[in-house]
Structure 1
Amino acid sequence: MSRLPDPVAQGLSRGWRVMGGPYARPPERMDCDVVIVGSGAGAGITAELLTQVGLDVVIVEEGPLRSSRDFHQLESEAYPQLYQESAARKTADQAINILQGRCVGGSTTVNWTSSFRTPKATLAYWQERLGLHDLDPSAMSPWFAQAERRLHIGDWLVPPNENNDLLRRGAVRLGMAAPAILRNVKGCWNLGSCGLGCPTNAKQSMLVTTIPAALEQGARLLVETRAQRLEHDGERVLGLLCVPVQAHGDVAPDRPATRIRARHYVVAGGAINSPALLLRSKAPDPHGVLGRRTFLHPVVISAARFEQRVEGWQGAPQTIYTDHFLELHPIDGPMGYKIEVPPLHPVIFATTLSGFGCAQAELLAQFAHTHALLALLRDGFHPDSPGGRVTLRRDGSAVLDYPLNDFVMDGARRALLSMAQIQFAAGALEVMPVHEMARPYRTWQQAQQALQTLPMKPLLTKVVSAHVMGGCAMAARAAQGVVRPDGRHWQLENLSVIDGSIFPTSIGANPQLSVYGFANRLATGLATQLTGRTPVLA
């Protein structure tokens, strides 16, 4: 694999204009047509489309530029290099661990490639309840289709690994549909290390698709550079103040700041970081909505031990799902959940499962025989599911307060029951709900009885997330959101937000294709407004 071509290295040798970190020092003043904060799903699509119509674009990324030559399938390297807070970002009460990318390509560099269009039920809710009337499935379909073609999103034609097939077999035996997941890969080697950076460049992340396309068109990329503050007069943004940071995130005190002046500013740092930038900038927020209604798809986990080897670290990490439990109740009723399969790697396994000392050693001894299911809770559709709130610490860094209330934890209990039933139906010898007070259960009846009485409390029930949405919601009225339906800020006329933070609820499915589709729509509109030319993502 070390001999495979590295398109990033090749681009740098051709003269891509990359600054910051180990590259050339950025100037203290820069001018451009559009500056984009972030380089993930929303930013990458936006950068490619804006450069396509001839706009001078600067991309500002806080994380480092890493590429396939740096991806060695090692957790010890990947988490500190590629993730926010070394894959240990947590909510204010430490009750939820959040995985988000922090590198060129953002979370697209480290996600598991699962690709779903925004569910029809979600779009219908936004239309009926929030006045976003232009977002019906037929209107959004062309934008998704273009993104799918551009990023090679399609069927995974290889049989699922044992880890995923156990979900399929258990669900089918219980009469539940368990279809395959579309993936954004091209020439995938089926290695199973998607979350550690793709060493073969098969994953069609922003790192190897849209960001290189923008750089080929002359865009400039600032890495290891934090967008600190937007300077504005209450009606227009006048500049962006950026500070250099070290690879691990601390400010580099020996390097000067950079001020970027642009015609238009696009914030695409992802939910949590995008609201935080606007909060640090004291952006107008007359209705007190900025940073609120931030959603996570809170995830609970059920582990199980099987007689046969499962080897959850091998093969495509996430290829089977069931939406059976999303469809049992109305979207605004009891919290529904999507069930999927996570890959298993030693560090993430050991730090997620309950227990320590001898108990954990026994679990690790069974690592090759261990299977896991996760349930993504669909938050944001019920009055008792208002999500969380992004605020700032004293140093200006972001923190998310996300209360795990009784409504959320009722969904968590039902999800743990559902996953245990599926695992026993698939032939599990024992099921281990990931809860501090749970123990391994050898029958479905034992697990059912225990899970109905376990206290579902924060820090006792293990909750994680990799899907952060909201905080800069789009809305039909200024009183309901931060941005208009076209992504433009309601009060700052030359500012757009184009990332997952614009979603007014959670998606109810892995959100990367939703971000791609909406970014395609919004950035195409922005390019047309700024130049009179209409780009096409292709």
Structure 2
Amino acid sequence: MLTLATMACHPLLTGIGVQLRNFKHGFSSSQIQTLASMCEALVPPLPPSCVSEEIKSAYSQEAIYSFFGASASQPSVPDEVAELIAKRGLPEAVILIKVVLRLLSTRPGTLLLCGPLCMDHKFPYIRKYSEMTLNNREKLLQSWCRESNITPLRAVFLFIKVVCCFIFFSRIDDKATNPNWEAIGYKVDSRKPSIRPKERSRPLQKGIINCNNINNDSLVQALTEKGLEVTQVPNQNTIKIKCDVVIVGSGCGGGVAAGILAKHGLKVIILEKGNYFAASDYSSLEGPSMDQLYIAGGMMSTRDGQILLASGSTVGGGSAVNWSASIKTPDSVLTEWWVNHKLRIFGGPEYRSAMDEVWKRLDVTEECSEEGFQNQVLRKGCENLGLKAEKVPRNSSKDHYCGSCGYGCRTGDKKGTDTTWLVDAVDNGAVILTGCKAQNFVLETNKNGGKRSKKCIGVLAKNLQIESKISISACGSLFTPPLLISSGLKNPNIGTNLHLHPTLLAWGVFPECSTPNLKGKSYEGGIITSLHKVASKTSDEIHAIIEATSLGPASFSGLIPWISGLDMKERMIKYGRTVNLVALIKDHSTGTVKKEGIITYSLNKYDKKNLEMGLRQCLRILISAGAAEVGTFRSDGQRLKCKGVKAEEIDEFLESIVASGGPMSRDEKWAVYGSAHQMSSCRMGVTEKEGAVDENGECWEAEGLYVCDGSVLPTAIGVNPMITIQSVAYCIATRISSVFDQGK
């Protein structure tokens, strides 16, 4: 694995796949032995005879044989799996996995969980799980996945399967490569940043103070050098800082607010719990990048495990790792917010002017010089069906051909808040404290009278007490509500009305030999450059939108249905030419997030119906574009071979497509949903009964405390929300600046 020297040279080579051999997972040796046997069943060593003639004729045989012979039980993999489970799992999930592994490490426990599969005609007649044949171990996991009515066992299977496959395909050696990548046709993006004249390679560095592993004296000195008023409280481990505005979070909302308010002449401090990375820091390595750029390494989910949640956690937040889609708020949504929710801000020129300013600052273009493989398929499939495929504007140049922006844009071409609004902020004296997580806002009784009973005077973070005239929560829809609640706010709209834009995936395989006109690999090119709207035939309603997605090999292997070890390896061989399309809906279902990391959400029948329509349209598009095989991510491996298939067979297959329940449901055929857009958990409302904040973004209960992120959106919007969130933030920040003007 990578040496310390190599790790020190590259900030994003310190995550998963690059672990030092000092494991602290808390699993016993017997549990690790059982886990290793389970990993071997999930990713088994297979003889050359298992390689089909189709695969032999299409791929490098040496690499294929090596890949088929590899196993996830090889040294250190099970320990890495255990460590990631301990690091990312909810406490109760980790306990459950440990209990199951402990039972399977004993004969009575194995008999209880495995039944006849562990029985033998030789003494002692019952085998522990690690002693069972590989075939029987595989059968047990298959039964847990698809047949078991004991949902905790299904959850154990799913978590271990996801983590095991993720580790197997993301771990790297001292040359930053994985031995399985050649067989699956994967290459890491190794392009260098293209810094233009007058651009800085690390544009935020002069405003950054890294709070990780820094003592109080050094921190005080660094803060003072940034021009802040700092006091170290004697006999206390506390540092007091004074500023005009403190902002918690640096993403689409916080970044915009920081840029506007600092440019207005205010002293701004931004707290960011993640770290700062510039284009030259990004490695495009899936494991380390997910570990350091996403909340919970991209493994956060709703409480029931049904929806996997992707949320950025770095300077720039989601804008640093999103897929560039820059879509303005649909007119229908603005009308809904203005008319139905009576929010005047969305009915006049103020908001539309803000969208234009955001569009300009992000240097959005509607052109694309060359589309990547997946978007070629989406466009071709739509054209063959007589459907419209729209161009998707992007906050990058028309020549931007980067499939790894989800791991940070290596070329520096994508315009996130870390290369735009935050640069404006730092250039105007703002300070960004990284590795600094806010604990709570400080509230006191409001002596000014008025409607708000409390007044916010700052925020506490680590050993910092930041006093400010204005405080802004901009840490996103999953973290702003818990922060406000922990600060003492009681408005019932805080942490409710959570929208997630639920998604389901469909896949299609396009062998190069049969589709030579479709160039490239699934991980190459702009991630979203085309989309199709699944429109109602009887109304103006949009049931779903269809876009391409970005799945690295480790994420893909963790999400695809696991039918058997052989099937998994055959699927992975085709990874590079497998197109994954996503159906996304404007959800009417809602969830809650009152406590950090605890998200509940339940899909209603209406939203499931829309997802089904979107998923079926994904499959139609893939089939029409020339896929050799298509399918869904449902647990039973639902798929259709397309060669020679008749129209009625396609119709029959499409009729079988449903939005199944999640892994903790009673459905034998279940699916994991996705969400990269979280909104509305502190929605804006004209009264405190209808919203958590008013039309200015100010909390109804506390004067001087604002929310400036996607959580203030009144409803879901049905498209990628970056432009909407930034435009709302622009309006809120502009109104805050006017408050200071009035106070002069």
TM over 0.5: yes
Give the greater-gyration-radius structure (CA). 2
Match of 1:220 in 2: 431
- Relative to structure 1, the CA distance from residue 324 to residue 453 in structure 2 (aligned partners, 3 Å threshold; closer, same or farther) is closer
Quote the offset at 1:162 in angstroms.
2.1
Shift of 1:450: 4.0
What is the distance in 2 between the residues matched to 1:126 and 1:294? 16
Query: Separation in 2 of the partners of 1:300 and 1:436?
Result: 13
What is the Cα deviation at residue 141 of structure 1?
1.9
Aligned to 1:338: 545
* Alpha-carbon distance, 1:520 to partner: 1.1
Q: Which residue of 2 aligns with 1:389?
A: 592
- Amino acid across the alignment from 1:417: R
Shift of residue 300, structure 1, vs aligned partner: 0.4
Name whichever structure is richer in helix by fraction: 2
Counterpart check, 1:323 vs 2:533: yes
Shift of 1:11: 4.8
Residue 359 of structure 1: aligned partner: 567
Aligned to 1:507: 717
Amino acid at match of 2:458: G
C-alpha displacement of 1:446: 4.0
Distance change in 2, residues 1:11/1:502 (3 Å): closer
Shift of 1:77: 1.5
Other-structure match for 1:305: 509
Tell me if the contact between 1:438 and 1:454 (Cα under 8 Å) persists in the aligned partners. no
Equivalent residues in 2 for 1:79-478, closer than 5 Å? 79-136=290-347, 138-186=349-397, 189-233=400-444, 234-243=453-462, 257-285=463-491, 288-308=492-512, 310-325=520-535, 329=539, 331=541, 336-355=543-562, 357-380=565-588, 385=589, 387-392=590-595, 397-442=596-641, 443=645, 445-446=648-649, 448-453=651-656, 456-459=660-663, 460-478=670-688
Instruction: Note if contact 1:272-1:390 (Cα within 8 Å) is conserved in structure 2.
Output: yes
Q: Report deviation, 1:273.
A: 0.7
Paired residues of 2:351 and 2:727 also in contact (CA < 8 A): yes
Q: Structure 2: how far apart are the matches of 1:196 and 1:298?
A: 22
Instruction: Give the match for residue 212 of structure 2.
Output: 21
- Partners of 2:682 and 2:252 in 1: how far apart? 16
Q: Which of 208-217 and 320-329 deviates more? A: 320-329
- Contact 1:236–1:494, Cα closer than 8 Å, also in 2: yes
Instruction: Evaluate the alpha carbon distance shift between residue 114 and residue 327 of structure 1 in structure 2; reply closer, same or farther with a 3 A threshold.
Output: farther
- Within 2, Cα distance between the matches of 1:35 and 1:306? 51
Identical-residue share of aligned pairs (%): 27
Q: State the one-letter code of the partner of 2:708.
A: I
**Is the CA contact 1:417–1:448 (under 8 Å) kept in the aligned structure 2?**
no
How many angstroms apart in 1 are the aligned matches of 2:323 and 2:243? Answer: 34
Q: Distance in 2 between matches of 1:3 and 1:522?
A: 34
| Bigger mean CA deviation after superposition, 216-225 or 16-25 | 16-25
The match for 1:251 is: none
Distance 1:454 1:182, change over 3 A: closer
DSSP 3-state at the match of 1:479: coil
Structure 1 residue 9: Cα displacement: 3.4
| Contact 1:437-1:454 within 8 A present in 2 as well | no
Match of 2:726 among 508, 511, 516: 516
Q: Deviations over 1:449-501 (max 9, x none)?
A: 34534662123122001001111000112111001111111121111111100
* C-alpha deviation, 1:330, in angstroms: 5.1
Q: CA deviation at 1:437?
A: 2.2
Return the alpha-carbon distance in structure 2 between the equivalents of residues 17 and 174 of structure 1.
51
Provide the alpha-carbon RMSD of the alignment: 2.2
Deviation at 1:211, TM superposition (A): 1.2
1:7 to 197, 200, 211: 200
CA distance in 2 between partners of 1:329 and 1:402 (Å): 28
Equivalent position SS for 2:439: strand
In structure 2, the residue matched to 1:529 is: 739
- Cα distance in 2 for partners of 1:17, 1:81 equals 17
3-state SS of 2:243 partner: strand
Pair 1:182–1:454, CA change in 2 (3 A): closer
Shift of 1:326: 6.6
Change (3 A) 1:180 1:525: same
Instruction: Measure how far apart 1:3 and its partner are.
Output: 7.1
The CA deviation at 1:348 is: 1.7
Instruction: Point out where structure 2 has 5 or more consecutive residues left out of the alignment.
Output: 1-190, 221-231, 233-238, 445-452, 513-518, 664-669
Q: What one-letter code is carried by the residue in structure 1 that aligns with 2:454?
A: E
Question: Paired residue for 2:162?
Answer: none
- The offset of 1:136, in angstroms, is 2.6
The whole-number CA distance in structure 2 between the counterparts of 1:464 and 1:329 is 27
Instruction: Find the residue that maps to 2:506 and give its secondary structure.
Output: strand
